[in-house]
Amino acid sequence: MPRGRWGRGIGLGGGACPRRISRFLEPCLLLLLRGDATHGYNLLESLRQFGFAPGTVDASVVYRILREMEDAGWVSSQWDTAGSGPPRRVYTVTPDGEEYLAAWINDLRCTRDEIDQFIKTYTQQEAGRGSAKPEQKAGEGDHVSGG
């Protein structure tokens, strides 16, 4: 099961909307590996399909997460020495990794539902504000009937 909700509070850049991507990279990498065994650099390049702009994810972060996932038993790796360049680790997802990914998918679906409801509520409130009458200044619109 995913390690819980992303951290709350001020992120590295501060502000109200910090990006906590390191834990979200786990399911992204597992999904990529589910499609095909590959090495870390290819995984880094393939993260673009999930909306990560080039340069937003450091290669060292990807390799650290791959090592952590291997320690957890979610991926396995073997050295590929067949290529013309230096040997590279090729990663594959394990059955435990498949289960972990399925738990992430379930959690992301629940989170999406919560976010959809949040946005719906916000949108309804904004629509209500737009149709509300502007506040009256003191004394305006006060009618006293003369007797």
Span 6-65, pLDDT tens digits: 443 334 444 444 346 668 999 999 999 998 899 988 999 999 999 888 888 899 999 999
User: What are the CA-CA distances from residue 126 to residues 52, 115, 130, 135, 136 (Å)?
Assistant: 30, 16, 6, 16, 20
Is 90 exceeded by the pLDDT of residue 104? yes
Is 70 exceeded by the pLDDT of residue 3? no
Query: At residue 132, what are phi and psi to the nearest 5 degrees?
Result: -70, 150
Percent of the chain with pLDDT over 70: 73
Domains and CATH numbers, the chain: 22-124 (1.10.10.10)
Is 70 exceeded by the pLDDT of residue 94? yes
Q: What is the pLDDT of residue 1?
A: 44
Q: What is the pLDDT of residue 132?
A: 55
Tokens of 45: 């390049």
Percent of the chain with pLDDT over 90: 56
Q: What is the pLDDT of residue 81?
A: 87
Laid out side by side, the sheet with 88-93 consists of 38-39, 88-93, 75-80
> What average pLDDT does the segment 114-141 reach?
78
Q: What is the pLDDT of residue 30?
A: 97
Q: What is the pLDDT of residue 14?
A: 43
Is 70 exceeded by the pLDDT of residue 128? yes
> Do residues 83 and 47 lie in contact, with contact meaning Cβ atoms separated by under 8 Å?
no
pTM for this one? 0.69
> What average pLDDT does the segment 130-141 reach?
56
